[in-house]
Amino acid sequence: DVKVTQSSRYLVKRTGEKVFLECVQDMDHENMFWYRQDPGLGLRLIYFSYDVKMKEKGDIPEGYSVSREKKERFSLILESASTNQTSMYLCASRSGLAGGTYSTDTQYFGPGTRLTVL
Amino acid sequence: SQQGEEDPQALSIQEGENATMNCSYKTSINNLQWYRQNSGRGLVHLILIRSNEREKHSGRLRVTLDTSKKSSSLLITASRAADTASYFCATGPALLQGAQKLVFGQGTRLTINP
C-alpha cells in the first residue's frame, strides 16, 4: 500500500514565524502536491512537483514556497506565517511519468496537518 | 474556479438506504475520480472512471459518467454508518489542457443515521 506521511497532525505557530510542513511518500512517485482545504472553498492546489528539484505553482502559491531535494520528500514552507494561512494542509503523491500527459491518475493523500497561526 | 461541483452539498439518510451524489464539470476531461474524506483526515481514493467509460462498479459503489452532459454520479448502495464522510469528485484535464492537475469540487457531506 502507498503510504504518505506528514510531519505533524496539528501545529500552532505565531504570526511571522517560518513554518515547514514535511511530506514523505514511500512509493517512488514522481509527482507530489500540496493543497490547502478551507470550509466552503474545497481543496486548492498550492504547488506541485513532477520531479526532483522541479516545482510548479498551483492556483494559490502566494505566501508559500516548496522544496523537493529528494524524490520521496516534498516540503511546504511558509516564509512568514500569517493568520490567513490557518488551514488544513494536505499532501498527495501520484505515480506517472514525470511531466507525462497521462499522469492524472489516482492521488494518494497524507492524513493532513491542521495549522493554526495566532 | 473549481471544475467539479457536487450536488447536494449535504445529504442525510437512514442506514440501509442508497445515497446518490452528483458532480458536474465544465471542460473536457481525461478521467473523473471520487474521493472520500473522513472528518479531519486526508482523502482516500474510491474509484476512477475514464472519459471513454460510462459506468463503473466497485463493491457497493457505482459511478456513472455522461460526457455529453459533463456530469457524473456516485451511488452508494445499502449505506452504513461508516459511510458517513465527505465525498469529492475530481477531474483530470484532457490532454494538453492544464498541467496534470486534478481539480476538486467542494464536496458532499454525507451523514448516515442509525
Average pLDDT score, chain A: 90
Question: Going by C-beta distance under 8 Å and a sequence separation of 6 or more, which residues neighbour residue A101?
Answer: B95, B96, B100
pLDDT over 60 (residue B92): yes
How do the domains of chain B map onto residue ranges?
1-7+15-89
The confidence score (pLDDT) of residue B96 equals 52
Q: How many angstroms separate the CA atoms of B83 and B6, rounded?
A: 17
CATH number for B1-7+15-89 (one of 3.40.50.720, 2.60.40.10, 3.90.1150.10, 3.40.50.10890): it is: 2.60.40.10
Residue B82 phi/psi, 5° resolution? Answer: -70, -10
pLDDT band at B89 (very low <50, low <70, confident <90, very high): very high
pLDDT over 80 (residue B100): no
Q: Do B101 and A90 touch (CB under 8 A)?
A: no
Q: Do B42 and A107 touch (CB under 8 A)?
A: no
pLDDT in tens, A74-117: 999 999 999 999 999 999 998 865 454 454 578 899 999 999 99
Residue B8: asked if its preceding bond is cis (omega within 30°), the reply is yes
Q: How many angstroms separate the CA atoms of A30 and A71, rounded?
A: 7
Measured between CB atoms, does B39 come within 8 Å of chain A?
no
Q: Do A112 and B30 touch (CB under 8 A)?
A: no
B103 vs B79, which has greater pLDDT?
A: B79
pLDDT band at B103 (very low <50, low <70, confident <90, very high): confident
The confidence score (pLDDT) of residue A105 equals 76
The confidence score (pLDDT) of residue A42 equals 86
Q: Are A110 and A90 in contact (CB under 8 A)?
A: yes
pLDDT over 90 (residue A4): yes
pLDDT band at A32 (very low <50, low <70, confident <90, very high): very high
Classify domain A4-97 by CATH number. 2.60.40.10
Q: Are B71 and B54 in contact (CB under 8 A)?
A: no
Among candidates B33, B41, B90 on the partner chain, residue whose Cβ is nearest the Cβ of A111: B41
The CA-to-CA distance between both ends of chain B, in Å, stands at 36
How do the domains of chain A map onto residue ranges?
4-97
Q: Are B37 and B88 in contact (CB under 8 A)?
A: yes
Q: Which residue has the cell 471520487?
A: B34
pLDDT band at B27 (very low <50, low <70, confident <90, very high): confident
pLDDT over 70 (residue B2): no
Q: How many angstroms separate the CA atoms of A55 and A50, rounded?
A: 7
